[in-house]
Amino acid sequence: MRTGIRLPPPRVLDILGLLVRLGLAAVWLVSGAIKVADPGQFYTAVQAYQLFGPGVASLISAAVPFLELGLGLLVLLGLGTRLVAVVSALLLLAYIAGVAQSWARGLTIDCGCFGGGGQVAAGQTHYGQEILRDTGFLLMAGWLVLRPKTPVSLDRWLTTGRQLDGKREHEHP
Amino acid sequence: MNTRKNDRGGRKARSAVASARRPNRSMTIGVVVVVVLAAAVIGGVLYQRHRTAEAAVAVIPAVHAAATYPTTVDRAGATVLVGKDTAKVTVDAYEDFLCPICGQFEAANFPDLEKQLSAGTVQVRYHLLNLLDDRSVPPGYSMMAANTALAVATVAPEKFLDFHYSLYQKQPEESGPGWTQAQLTSLANRLGVSGAPFDNLVDGKTYDARIQQNLQTAENDQSLWQTSSQGSGFGTPTIVIGGKPVDWTQPGWLDNAVSAAYPS
């Protein structure tokens, strides 16, 4: 607001922020749930990137689905929104880098972003769409990094609580 | 306009007050976020360990085919031939013990194959391959299962089909840990196959090199290739009669082959 650019009224930004937050929550929860439901498939997907040995790929395929669910839960609740958005953005950047390097190296794989994954036939890759989609999610995360305050969030609820504390503190000294 | 200005002013005042104790509160929230995410990661790893451990103690149930059929093993070629040698139809089955579609093929067709085996009209030559060696964690389940099956066939040919049938009845998940050698050996033992000759074949991985060679031969043999949405190439299962792959998903493929060989 100090930048001089005319922004929509805060109420509109609030509602947009809420939609972005819920959207990102849906992305993580859906993607995490699909992966948790079929761990073997996700391991195949991780392996197809040909970046890790079997041990590391196994560790990644064990941890990432639950990490996604954790991020989804936190962003849904709106708890620590900025930090969660930063972690989300980093994860999405890693995904984009993973897909981009597969594309550059001429691998023929499915990204395994929402289930699936592994080798596909030469004409069956969708690297462009996959990167574009992840970039969209990255923009959502970026929005929440810049403007993490949204309505109906634990962050806001805790802030309201803090105001009472703050007032009391002012009275105290 | 006025009201909006007031609103903004109110917001600023509130956030100024709010920032008084922000570091503490933010720190707490940050710690909670980190704890939740760390718990998710650790939980995921523990869950995977649990699944692996659970799979390792499981027992592959021994199941038996309806009857025993003449069985011979080609030790040099690492294939197993089941059925009467007077049968006019020979079905060549290229399979991998990890491959889910091979499991579907067996489930859908084994009863019919058994009928023909009993009637003496069909022989089945099993080519046990390791196409999906890299689809288990640790890799190599396909090879281990194939070598063990060939060891069973070598020591006790009449038990091969039971071993084969049992493994397809309780197939491990693709990309999972697969069965361990101990679990495979235990199945063989419970089917009555044990002893030093069997253990030597298993421990010596006697058939591994030949299985690998058979896979390469099959992959390079264009007469075995099939075309799917994934392109053209060799895959498992491939079912061949008279030198040509047949579409086993079409009902009646076996009956058609039998009635062609035995016109009534």
Q: Largest alpha-carbon pair distance within chain B?
A: 101
Q: How far is CA A123 from CA A108, A118, A120, B176, B230, in A?
A: 8, 14, 8, 28, 9
pLDDT band at B238 (very low <50, low <70, confident <90, very high): very high
How many domains, in total, are found in chain B? 2
Q: Which residues of B touch A73 (CB under 8 A)?
A: 36
User: In 10 A of CB B111, how many CB atoms?
Assistant: 11
What whole-number distance in Å separates Cα of residue B216 and Cα of residue B261? 31
Tell me what the pLDDT averaged over chain A comes to. 89
Contact yes or no for B40 and A67 at CB 8 A? yes
Verify that B8 and B45 share a domain, yes or no.
Answer: yes
Verify that B162 and B47 share a domain, yes or no.
Answer: no
Tokens in use for B125?
């030559």
Tokens in use for A107?
């691998």
Verify that B45 and B96 share a domain, yes or no.
Answer: no
Verify that B200 and B256 share a domain, yes or no.
Answer: yes
> Of B46, B34, B137, which Cα lies nearest the Cα of A63?
B46
Amino acid code (one letter) for B108:
A
Residues A134/A91, Cβ–Cβ less than 8 Å: no
Verify that B113 and B211 share a domain, yes or no.
Answer: yes
Q: From the DSSP assignment, how many helices (H) and strands (E) are in chain B? A: 9, 8
B70 φ/ψ angles, rounded to the nearest 5 degrees:
-55, 130
CATH code, domain with B204: 3.40.30.10
pLDDT band at B2 (very low <50, low <70, confident <90, very high): very low
Average pLDDT of A111-121?
A: 89
Verify that B173 and B209 share a domain, yes or no.
Answer: yes
Q: What is the ipTM of this complex?
A: 0.87
What whole-number distance in Å separates Cα of residue A68 and Cα of residue A77? 14
Q: By residue range, what is the domain housing residue B235?
A: 63-261
pLDDT band at A168 (very low <50, low <70, confident <90, very high): very low
Q: Which residue of B has its CA nearest to A73?
A: B36
Q: Which residue of A has its CA nearest to B22?
A: A162
Looking at residue A71, what is its pLDDT? 98
Q: Final residue of a domain: which of B54, B77, B98?
A: B54
Verify that B126 and B233 share a domain, yes or no.
Answer: yes
Q: Could you report how far apart the first and last alpha carbons of chain B are, in Å?
A: 97
Verify that B176 and B73 share a domain, yes or no.
Answer: yes
Is the confidence at residue B13, as pLDDT, over 70?
no
A166 Cβ contact partners less than 8 Å away, ≥ 6 residues apart: B17, B18, B20, B21
Q: Final residue of a domain: which of B10, B27, B54?
A: B54
Tokens in use for A37?
């439901």
A2-11, A16-25, A131-140, B46-55, range with the lowest pLDDT: A2-11
Average pLDDT of B113-138?
A: 94
pLDDT tens-digit readout, A69-101: 999 999 999 999 999 999 999 999 999 999 999
What whole-number distance in Å separates Cα of residue B109 and Cα of residue B3? 78
Please tell me the pTM assigned to this model: 0.67
A18 vs B17 pLDDT, higher one: A18
Q: Which residue of B has its CA nearest to A66?
A: B40
Q: Could you report how far apart the first and last alpha carbons of chain A are, in Å?
A: 34
Looking at residue A44, what is its pLDDT? 85
Looking at residue B4, what is its pLDDT? 47
DSSP state of A113: B
Q: How far is CA B253 from CA A20, A40, B111, B120, B182, in A?
A: 55, 33, 14, 17, 37
Verify that B202 and B176 share a domain, yes or no.
Answer: yes
Q: Final residue of a domain: which of B35, B54, B73?
A: B54
Looking at residue B149, what is its pLDDT? 98
Looking at residue A53, what is its pLDDT? 85
Is the confidence at residue A144, as pLDDT, over 90?
yes
pLDDT tens-digit readout, B141-186: 999 999 999 999 999 999 999 999 999 999 998 888 899 999 999 9
Contact yes or no for A66 and B138 at CB 8 A? no
Residues B34/A70, Cβ–Cβ less than 8 Å: no
Verify that B165 and B241 share a domain, yes or no.
Answer: yes
How large a percentage of chain A has pLDDT more than 90? Answer: 71
Looking at residue A3, what is its pLDDT? 57
Verify that B181 and B226 share a domain, yes or no.
Answer: yes
Verify that B128 and B189 share a domain, yes or no.
Answer: yes
Average pLDDT of B114-133?
A: 96
Q: Which residues of B touch A44 (CB under 8 A)?
A: 135, 174-175
Whether B13 and chain A come into contact, CB under 8 Å, resolves to no
Contact yes or no for B137 and A54 at CB 8 A? yes
Looking at residue A166, what is its pLDDT? 43
